[in-house]
Copies of this chain bind each other. A is one copy, B any other.
């Protein structure tokens, strides 16, 4: 595989972002100043760790899914994605069409969000690694920090939880559930919730995380960063009707530890919560109140009562 040839093939024919000065084709990419702040994150996807090629996902899905994770990080900051850079390690058992399919998947989701591929590096190696850096813009006074939760805030979550994790179990034939294709798609083609994040952008103070490692982990991060406790109610955690047919144990596992469908969890004032419900209704986005922010007790996240602690791992610890 010829690196220069490959770059020619994956280079965009035109760029979508007006703030871009130079994309691919020099030592580095350059973009202009706007009146917003710049937000950036990196996410890495490794063969046989995050996916099994043509088993858990197609080569096109790999690109789509990896950029989706990055875009989701920006959604969780209240930012709009603009650019991405790609580093790809290509092993000898991948042929050029595999790699081009990964880039097709990247381009597919990039197009949805009007993003431009502005840089990259392609190298050879023993196993396939896709590492993406995403860059976006946000208004400086509307950055959604996880450290902004305050006592008496409402805790809310978008969508329903556990679906992507269930999808992966279904792919491995380890779980039977109705509506299989829906769950598999949640694993292979998750949608970052930019629409919600942008729809609430006028609101003051919202703390926000995207659910990549499961809601237990995210709630603990918010509570820790904000120096508060959070109490959530088990019966309020939104799951799909098919999920309710599963055993209690499975339900708890998927809803507390299953991430990567990239829903958002956040906290905001009672007053803002009413606005969020209204906005979500207009945008046809499901949003659910799942708990409240409390003063810091001995632990960060409680489930139903102070006698039950929800650990980062999703483990429910009885005191």
**In terms of DSSP, what is the predominant structure of the interface of chain A?**
strand
Q: Chain A: residues with CB nearer than 8 A to chain B?
A: 21-22, 25-44, 46-50, 72-74, 76-77, 79, 83, 85-87, 89, 118-121, 123-127, 129, 131, 133-136, 138, 140, 143, 145-147, 208-210, 225
Q: When the two chains form the complex, which single residue of B21, B33, B121 contacts A33, counting CB atoms closer than 8 Å?
A: B33
Residue of B nearest to A208 (CB): B27
Residue of B nearest to A27 (CB): B76
Residue from A41, A123, A147 having most chain B Cβ neighbours under 10 A: A41
Residues from chain B with a CB closer than 8 A to the CB of A136 are 28
Cβ–Cβ contact A26 & B123, under 8 A: no
Cβ–Cβ contact B121 & A46, under 8 A: no
Cβ–Cβ contact B27 & A210, under 8 A: yes
Cβ–Cβ contact A40 & B146, under 8 A: no
Residue from A21, A29, A126 having most chain B Cβ neighbours under 10 A: A126
Cβ–Cβ contact B73 & A124, under 8 A: no
Q: A125-B49, A131-B87 are in contact. Are A37 and B30 (CB under 8 A)?
A: yes
Q: When the two chains form the complex, which single residue of B30, B43, B86, B138 contacts A30, counting CB atoms closer than 8 Å?
A: B138
Cβ–Cβ contact A32 & B85, under 8 A: no
Within the complex, what minimum Cβ distance (angstroms) separates A217 from chain B?
10
